[in-house]
Each structure stands twice: as structure tokens, then as C-alpha cells.
Structure 1
Amino acid sequence: MSKYSITEFVRQTEQKDRGQGFFELETPRLLEVNLKLNDFVWAKTGSMISYLGKIKFEREGILEHGIGKTFKKALTGEGISLMKAKGRGKLYLADQGKKVTILHLQNEAIFVNGNDLLAFEPSIKWDIKLMKRVGGMLAGGIFNVRCEGTGMIAITTHYEPLTLKVIPGFPIITDPNATVAWSGNLQPTLQTDISLKTFIGRGSGESIQMKFEGDGFVVLQPFEEIRGKREHS
């Protein structure tokens, strides 16, 4: 049989059960969610590419997660539009071909850029958090999602993620547009480096940076994902 035959192509690319549980990486860029009877999952709106079985999709209700989050989303315009997938079957999720990473939180917390949060189990508590801004450098600051509890979440990155350890006394500076997530105990601040404006070429004329201090980690991607806009790898 030719290695380029249709039969061989189907064999190499067909869906495979890996027995990994509720969340499963079908490919590095595609998440499989295994829903049993009456299970449900929260997923980024528009991320469904296929499903098998009987699954119903519901748009996130106006007060689904409490009036506090509703007001925050209305105020910030944060791109955390969710849908609930409920039923029994296999659900396949993806986001612009970005790499998918599954994280199993065990009574832990992590901050994630809202645009990079693909899906999470209903046992995970979440809230929108605003980073303190410096003067008028940003019209509304930078908003992220704090996920906390025990359960699985799936995040996405453009290409391969890099995790840097934050050590007391040795702060790490990052570009907000390349910063995907960080440990829940860190409280980064925003700063500017005017000396970099010649090299950045951004409309603001300033280099806005995130400064992480303490003991934890930061997840980066080798790609600048301009917040509020949709970018493609």
C-alpha cells in the first residue's frame, strides 16, 4: 500500500481514543471533551468544530455567572464569551489552529488571558480581574481571568509555550501581548520603558510591560496577540 494512499491518510489522521479522561488532546491543536450523560463543559463561543452524540449548546445566559461578572464584562468588553455544551458524546474544540494545553488544577489558581481560555470544567470558579494601570497608559487597563479550584482547564497559545520561573529578588518583565498565563499567587504590575519606543513602532509611542515579582511562574507565547483583535498564526 502506498504511503500516500487515501487509506493510509485516513489511518494516520482518524480519531483515536486515548483514554485520557474528560479532556483529551486529540491532536496538539484540537481538544476532545468526553461528555457522559448530563455532563456539561464551558467553552469559548465559536470553538466547536465537530461533535458526536447528543449534545446541546446554549449561549451563556446574561446572569449565568452572577450579576457581578455581567457588569464586569459589560464594562470591560473583555472577550470571554462562553457557551455551555451539555449532553452525552464527544465534543471537539479548537481556536484558530492554536496549540492546546490541558492543565489539571488541584485546589490551585491561575490567571489566563481571556482570549486564550478555551474550555474549563464546571467545578472551576472564575472571575475577571483588572490589572492596575499606570497613569493613562491604557484606556482601561488589562483584564484577565482568574481560574481557581479543582478540575481541568484548557488554554491555547500561538506555537509552543515557554514557562519562566519567577524567583524572589529577580523580577521578570514581559510583553502583555505575548503573556498567556501566570500563577495565581502573583500580582503583576504595568510599567513603561520609554527607551524602547524607537524599537517598538506601536501607535502609543510607549512600550507597555508587565512586571512579575515574587515566587511563581509566567507562561509566554512566541507571538504578539493584540488584545481586542483576532490574530492568526
Structure 2
Amino acid sequence: MQSPLFNHAEQQSQERYVVQNPQLLRVSLAGQDDILARKGAMVAYQGLVDFDGEYQSSNQRRTRSRTGEGLDLMRCFGQGTVYFANLAQYIHVVDVDQDGMTVDSAYVLALDSTLHTEVIAVDSQYGVSGTGKYQLNITGRGKVALMTSGQPLMMQVTPDKYVSADADAIVAWSSGLRVQMQAQTHNASVRRRRGDTGEGWELSFLGTGFALVQPSEVMPPQNAAIGQGIAAQYGVGGNGAHGQNQGNVWS
């Protein structure tokens, strides 16, 4: 059999994280360090690989309930190769160092299990909550795979050049930056969006580091809601887990 599809065969590499193509991540497991990945993000794997739900402490569950920020993860371990993707979003691998990185959890695809995550609050100039009020701080040494809707823009922040970004478009930034949430409004009430421009809350970054912005202000759909009732929870009916992909041969 012949086809141009065979040009997309798996890449051979000794690296642990490899971007197989702009929308597909390849991770190698050697039986030592586990990988934490977004639940349901595995699209294929080879070898002896196991998947298990990642335990959340009671404190993590309370924080998630209160802030809406956090990660729904599965633990991947064993020996082999795993491929991850989510809604064909663009994938980028970032090395986290001692400075740390702050990110919106909706854009995390996978990360090393050795990294530490913590929900933090972003200061608001006016004390008004909105998009970006809570984010996820990632510290330690390891790799994180981020997702963006389209090819992103990496903006350098320096002491003499601060950066402002739409709170709905920002993906991640250096944890060492000072951040303010604000609205450059000319209206008497800061609770109104800027006149009829459609522009709203923004995050301003000061210090030395980076800010990663995506060319979209729409959050990717995550964790499609399953209908109520015992039947739906077991995947039965149009509101069940199998009803989420209407028209799929496996539905």
C-alpha cells in the first residue's frame, strides 16, 4: 500500500518529549519517571504502558471548587511511547527552571510528575474578579507541554518594556513577573467593558521574563458535561458518555 500518509510516520528520537507534528506530542517512558497528562488526552501508545487516575488531596479539591483552577490528570507509567493531543491544538514543550512558570490550567497537556503545581491569585487593580483571576503556578525542574489555539506569540518583558495582554488570550508567563489585572477604561464605571470596543480585562506584566499569547480569545472546550442520572453516568443514552460523539462508529 502506498500513500502520502506514510510521510507522517513516527519520528525517531532519544528525547523524552518530541513534538511529532504541531498538534501531536510523543512522550517516551523508560519505567522511571511518570508522566502526568490531561485526562483523555492519549490518542495512541506502544509498549507496556499503564494509565491511572491521579489522586487529588482534599485541599486540592477544595481549591478547585473555590477557584475553578486546577488540573484533571491521569498518571502514565511503564515502558513505551505515548502520543497525546487535545482538539488538534498546537503543542509546545517548555523547560521549567527554578524561576517557575504561571499558566492557565486549560492549556496544560502534560508535565513531568516531579514538578509541583499550586493555584495562585492574580491581583486585580480594581478588586473585580474575572478571567485570569486564578492561575496555576508550576515550579521545580522538568518539562511541560502547553497547548494553544493557533501559533502563539512569545513576548519578552524587560524592566523598560512592560507587556499587556488580553486576559482571554494569555496562556503563560514567567512566575517572577509582577502582574496586575486592569481595564484601561474611560467609562465612569470600571465594571463596564470599554465603551463599544469589545475589549475588556487585561493583564499587565512588569519585570524580566516572557509572556506567551495565543491568537484566540476563546477557551478550548474541556470535559464535556455528562447528563444527570445513573444511566448517563454509565454511558447510557444520548446524555451519557457515549452520547458526546454523535455519529461516531463507537457511539
- The alignment status of 1:11 with 2:9, answered yes or no, reads no
| Aligned-CA RMSD value | 2.1
Asked whether the equivalents of residues 108 and 150 of structure 1 are also in contact (C-alpha less than 8 Å), the reply is no
Asked whether the equivalents of residues 39 and 88 of structure 1 are also in contact (C-alpha less than 8 Å), the reply is no
- For residue 211 of structure 1, the aligned residue among 204, 207, 219 is 204
Report Cα offsets for 1:134-178 as digits up to 9, x if no partner.
Answer: 446326862211111111111111111111111214322110111
Which TM-score applies when normalising by structure 1? 0.84
Distance of 2:97 and 2:165 partners within structure 1: 27
- The alignment status of 1:60 with 2:54, answered yes or no, reads yes
- The alignment status of 1:22 with 2:20, answered yes or no, reads no
Dislocated runs of 4+, deviation >4 Å: none
Distance of 1:140 and 1:219 partners within structure 2: 16
Distance of 2:105 and 2:129 partners within structure 1: 17
Q: Which has the higher strand share?
A: 1
**5+ residue gaps, structure 2:** 187-193, 223-251
Q: In 2 relative to 1, CA 133–141 (structure 1 residues): closer, same or farther, beyond 3 Å?
A: farther
Asked whether the equivalents of residues 76 and 140 of structure 1 are also in contact (C-alpha less than 8 Å), the reply is no
- The alignment status of 1:223 with 2:221, answered yes or no, reads no
Q: CA deviation at 1:77?
A: 2.1
- The alignment status of 1:37 with 2:31, answered yes or no, reads yes
Q: CA deviation at 1:72?
A: 1.2
Name 1:3's counterpart in structure 2: none
Name 1:83's counterpart in structure 2: 74
Q: Percent identity?
A: 24
Asked whether the equivalents of residues 109 and 147 of structure 2 are also in contact (C-alpha less than 8 Å), the reply is yes
Letter in 2 for 1:115: A
- Aligned residue pair count: 215
Name 2:191's counterpart in structure 1: none
Q: In 2 relative to 1, CA 133–210 (structure 1 residues): closer, same or farther, beyond 3 Å?
A: same
Distance of 1:79 and 1:68 partners within structure 2: 11
Name 1:97's counterpart in structure 2: 88
- The alignment status of 1:146 with 2:137, answered yes or no, reads yes
Name 2:196's counterpart in structure 1: 198
Report Cα offsets for 1:16-55 as digits up to 9, x if no partner.
Answer: 2123x21111111111110112541011112111111222
Q: In 2 relative to 1, CA 108–170 (structure 1 residues): closer, same or farther, beyond 3 Å?
A: closer
